[in-house]
Structure 1
Amino acid sequence: MTAWLAVLLILALPACTTKMGKDGRTTSEMDVKYLAKTEVDRFADTNRAEVMGGLMLIADKLYRRNPKEWKKAGVDSREAALERLKMRHYRSLPELGGLREGKAAALAFSETYSGDRVAALMLGLLTMADAAFDHKAEFYVLDSLDEMKLFNCARNMEVAVWKLGNDRNAAGELFLLANELDPANRNLSFEREFGRLMGLLDFMAKVVADRNGRTVSRLGHSVVSTIFLPVSFLK
């Protein structure tokens, strides 16, 4: 459908001199792309980019605080571990056995899991965000999003924050080090970044709900859940 819309827009454009832009596209191509997007579509593009960038920032910070995790994966550096996450392909993270979203994220807090816990958590969150944005990097007039997928993705960020600060192994140690609560060296940067991403997702959910003529309810969510909510299979 999007391809047909682009064709119609091309036919509707008046004849013009084409110029090459810095990104390699002609002026006409950029005009068509602009016309094929609503303000909501452009907002969704930016929102998604911010969420994905923020999650990769959190992954980098977690690896810095937990360097033993990327070493478990047999890679040569933190940068190589981050590159595996960017690919988000089961072949690049075979230790997860193809798990995605909540099932992958939950492994990070499992006593029996011996793999890279940062990869498990962040691959889970990244694939949740992928699903919340319908596995698209750009949005056009005929594209649509589901506000509840975005809403649940935001709630899963809350679950991740809670688990990072509370879930411990049998020895009483946190599975992953994140925020530093020591008054002498207080560091809440993880919580702040997660909070920013939750705000972006919640606002995107509201925008999409308004566009769809629906509302997003927080009913029954007075206490943070300790279980990751479904995103991909949400009906």
Structure 2
Amino acid sequence: MLIIPLCLALGACSMLAPTPAPHGEVQGASTSGAELGQSDVNRIATLGMHDNLDSLYRLLDKLYRRNPAEWKKTAGSRELAIKRVRDAIEARQPWPELQGKHDIQALSLALTPDFSGDRAAAFIYGAADMIIVAHGGKTKFYLIDGFDAQYLYNAARNMEIAAWILNSRKTAAGQPLLLSNDMSESERNISFEREFGKIIARIDLLAEMTTEKYRRAGISYLQNLVGGTFLQFLPVR
């Protein structure tokens, strides 16, 4: 007899429970003929690079919103400034304010206290260039491409160091190099930290996959060698 009241109570609770807010869904990339020339690792690396660059562009937009004086040094609008940086990164063109420097040298220059150019643009360009260099200088990968796990690992650590410098280093006037995370008493905004964390995690995963690929190749060889000798079925008639 208690079953009916219990069911009614549960039904009432379910009707009163708030509907979960939508959080989107996984969006897969469209299939292309180029995938025929990619291994699973190549494909994951290509998707990871695409997502890492998108993360850097989001960081650039966030930095420009918190530091509008930076984009005003090089462009007439925030959108145009972002486009210029994006075009330079994807075309592998040098960024003028970095004096021809690339990779970690560009990143280091962008984070020096006395850098007077568009620091947000220089920082994101230097970070992107460093990541691309760690991937062999490419943003799309095919069967002929390989990865150095140590270089990838180093790139992830470089991003950790860059994020720490951005949050801790001051200019000669005692001001932050760029306003980013806000950990004040009135507000707690760590969206920058989360975006950096995504980039670091993607690169670390690819480094582990690269190491695992060669390790598993050796194990598979031994398994086939042992199996071919000892794991054969015996005749029963």
Q: Given the two structures, how large is their TM-score scaled by the length of structure 1?
A: 0.72
1:84–1:92 contact (8 Å) kept in structure 2: no
Cα distance between partner residues in 2 of 1:123 and 1:208: 26
Identify the residue that residue 200 of structure 1 maps to in structure 2.
202
Identify the residue that residue 160 of structure 1 maps to in structure 2.
162
Q: Deviations over 1:135-186 (max 9, x none)?
A: 2232222211111121111111111111111100122211110000013111
Identify the residue that residue 45 of structure 2 maps to in structure 1.
44
Identify the residue that residue 35 of structure 2 maps to in structure 1.
34
2:104–2:126 contact (8 Å) kept in structure 1: yes
Identify the residue that residue 175 of structure 1 maps to in structure 2.
177
- Give unmatched runs, 5+ long, in structure 1: 1-22, 215-235
1:90–1:98 contact (8 Å) kept in structure 2: no
Identify the residue that residue 185 of structure 1 maps to in structure 2.
187
- Give unmatched runs, 5+ long, in structure 2: 1-29, 217-237
**Larger helix fraction of residues:** 2
- Pairs aligned (count): 185
Identify the residue that residue 56 of structure 1 maps to in structure 2.
57
1:62–1:177 contact (8 Å) kept in structure 2: yes
Identify the residue that residue 217 of structure 1 maps to in structure 2.
none
Q: Deviations over 1:52-102 (max 9, x none)?
A: 1111111111111111011122x1111111112112268773222111222
1:101–1:123 contact (8 Å) kept in structure 2: no
1:69 pairs with 2:70: yes
1:85 pairs with 2:85: yes
2:56–2:124 contact (8 Å) kept in structure 1: yes
Secondary structure of the corresponding residue to residue 72 of structure 2:
helix
Q: Given the two structures, how large is their TM-score scaled by the length of structure 2?
A: 0.72
2:114–2:171 contact (8 Å) kept in structure 1: no
Secondary structure of the corresponding residue to residue 34 of structure 1:
helix
The structure number with the bigger radius of gyration is: 2
4+ residue runs over 6 A deviation: 89-92
Shift of 1:107: 2.3
